[in-house]
Structure 1
Amino acid sequence: MVEFPESNVGPKFKGRRVGYFRETAGYRRYAAAYRDGFENLPPVRETLDVATSFGTVRAYRFGEGEATPLVLLPGRQAATPMWAANLPGLLAVRPVITLDLLGEPGLSVQSKPLTDDADQATWLSEALAELESRPVHVLGVSIGGWSAVNLAVRHPERVASLITLDAPFVFGGVTWKMILVSLGSVLPGMPEKWRNKLLSWISGGVSAPEDLPEGRLIASGMKDFAAYLPMTKQPAKEQLSVLGMPYLGIFAGRSIVHNAKKMAARARKLVPGGQFEVWPEASHAINGEFPDEIAARVAKFLGEVDPGPA
């Protein structure tokens, strides 16, 4: 059963520039969706609340074994329950640690404003240092992929290898469609029907948000949570070109976030040692659409860069 921390709830947090749930009813709605989604996950080995300079980060350990763990970073407005489809396959590869992003909806609790990309990397580096003394393999989807790259360029000592799934703001900007979805996600008065259409659009129309607990979770996060995060910036070319760890980047051919072929071409130019692919049939919701294929590709990649016992 999931353990809920004391979260930032209510208007008393307005103006502090930390993420918070706008009202108690909204927090209860989000918590119910989180609990329902959590029940679909494999058994958790350990639940941790890790102290950092910017707040407490919720982390979960899944699986057994001594292999270097794979750390999963979720997309915007999401949290650990979004990995329901992925965890069974990835746990066959190696132990997994999931984090709820600080400043986003989830069970991490922000206590200090995040002012820039360096702050974003600092809390993540501090959390990983508490969780594992060795560098870890980091996989991020969407903005979680940007977070993984932002960590890698600022704290490379924490990252054994890097895997990103349709990550925006890494090798270029985003489309006007994605900007529209982002604006919709922060408008508290947007009708539920319109909000659901935006979520369905970004996921390629594969399912309505209310069909799955993780969809309800994201919809509630968009409606009920106020985030105060710094503007996401693309890493400098000089930062990307010196990434020394193995890097696998997968772009979704049907993504509304960017032109996948152009992003893959830029990635190959900027990080010539990386492996970059376009999956033509995938949308931005790639992790839920192709969980078995992702697990197989991750297993192959990690088998090449870290062939120790899983």
Structure 2
Amino acid sequence: MSAIYKSEAGRAAIQARYRETLQKWPVPAEQLHIPTRLGDTFVLASGPQGAPPVIALHGSGSNSSTWRGDIASWAQDFRVYAVDMPGEPGGSTESRPELGTDALADWLDDVLAGLNISSASFVGMSLGGWTALDYAIRRPDRVTRLALYCPGGIGKQRFGWIFKNLVDHLFSNHDLRRSAAIVTGLNIKDHAEILDDIALTFTHFNPRTGKLSLFTDAQLATLKMPVLVIVGADDAMFKSAETARRAEQSITDATLRILPDTGHAILGQTEAVHEFLRK
């Protein structure tokens, strides 16, 4: 049994749901398996060959299904590579690299080499946002633009890790969809399918524990590429006001979008990100 899943049956259930989602992918896509030093990485490639590349990195406890509502727009102008993060419930290796080391940057070096691209724009959500920031700081010549949804690493976390302490408490009442709604800030009536996916995942998946490290002001100041930061004003996971303040003060070319009445799960920003990537 893999350490990232609570049981083999749970692993099978999550993977079956993921396959169903991929079968409904709204645009033609190639399913790629890129060898890396951590193991195979699953990449879903959409959009015209030769178009400017975009690397999309999802958050903790998720996979590239995160981008199913965005891909039809973005793939019009870009070759979008939705990359499943290692150690998360997707199609990549279940090896979980240590954060705050060179491991994730080295892994992304391997991914870009396997895709035969030297640099790209990056879109990242939550943990994926932290990973994209980490890579841009370590490999600034490889990142042309950064679009970040509720990124880790700028504002402090409200809880030890995404979903960790809060979910342990809320999910103990066994009303998993309701608990997922509280954690994400999504409305049960309008987002039942998303909340069902989250509930299924956290029934069977062991998320990362521990805090994401904060990038220093000096590290953020090294970012010279355009950076779009989108946060929800009511984010239960990160202090979004602090994220916005530090990004504005420390990142040279930062554009901020603070969404009122929005929690950690940020939806409806497809065109804003598309416009930013096209600039």
TM-score, structure 1 length as denominator? 0.80
Change (3 A) 1:93 1:115: closer
Matched, 1:173 2:156: yes
Partner in structure 2 of residue 276 of structure 1? 256
User: Which runs of structure 2 are paired with 1:210-225 in the superposition (5 Å)?
Assistant: 211-212=192-193, 214-225=194-205
Deviation digits for residues 18-73 of structure 1 (CA, Å, limit 9, x no counterpart): xx323221112112211222233224431111111112111010121422122111
1:138 to 103, 122, 126: 122
Q: For residues 86 and 113 of structure 1, do their structure 2 counterparts lie closer, same or farther at Cα, with a shift above 3 Å needed?
A: closer
Distance 1:215 1:36, change over 3 A: farther
Task: Tell me the amino acid that sits aligned with residue 278 of structure 1.
Answer: I
* Greater shift in the superposed pair: 40-49 or 155-164: 40-49
User: What residue in structure 1 maps to residue 39 of structure 2?
Assistant: 55
1:204 equivalent in structure 2: 185
1:238 corresponding residue in structure 2: 218
Q: Which runs of 5+ in 1 are unaligned?
A: 1-9, 15-19, 305-310
Poorly superposed stretches of 4+, deviation over 6 Å: none
Deviation at 1:179, TM superposition (A): 5.3
Can you give the 5+ residue segments of structure 2 that lack an aligned partner in the other structure? none
Please give the secondary structure, in 2, of the residue aligned with 1:297: helix
Q: What is aligned with 1:25?
A: 9
1:229/1:60 CA distance change after superposition, 3 Å: farther
Structural mapping, 1:113-124, within 5 Å: 113-114=97-98, 116-124=100-108
The answer for the alignment partner of 1:247 in structure 2 is: 227
Q: Is the 8 A contact 1:44 1:60 kept in 2?
A: no
1:124 Cα deviation after fit: 2.1
Deviation at 1:231, TM superposition (A): 4.5
Matched, 1:256 2:239: no
SS in 1 for 2:44: strand
The count of corresponding residues between Structure 1 and Structure 2 is: 278
Contact 1:173 1:258 in 2 (8 A): yes
Matches within 5 A, 1:95-114: 95-111=79-95, 113-114=97-98
Is the CA contact 1:21–1:27 (under 8 Å) kept in the aligned structure 2?
yes
Are residue 156 (structure 1) and residue 140 (structure 2) matched? yes
User: Alignment partner of 2:238: what SS?
Assistant: coil
Residues 180 and 221 (structure 1 numbering): CA distance in 2 closer, same or farther, change over 3 Å?
closer
TM-score of the superposed pair, with normalisation by structure 2 = 0.88
TM-aligned CA deviation for residue 253 of structure 1: 1.8
Contact 1:42 1:88 in 2 (8 A): yes
Residues 80-138 of structure 1: CA distance to partner in whole angstroms, max 9, x if unpaired? Answer: 11222111222233221101110111111134753643212221232122213221110
In structure 2, the residue matched to 1:92 is 76
Cα pair distance change 1:179/1:123, threshold 3 Å: closer
Cα 1:120–1:191, aligned 2, differ >3 Å: closer, same or farther? farther
Deviation at 1:208, TM superposition (A): 6.9
Q: How far apart, CA to CA, are the structure 2 residues paired with 1:243 and 1:65?
A: 28
CA contact under 8 A between 2:161 and 2:211: conserved in structure 1? no
Secondary structure of 2:200's counterpart equals: helix
Decide whether aligned partners of structure 1 residues 122 and 224 sit closer, same or farther in structure 2, where only a CA change above 3 A counts.
same
Paired with 2:253 and 2:14, the residues of 1 have a C-alpha distance of 41
Distance in 2 (CA, whole Å) between partners of 1:199 and 1:31 is 20
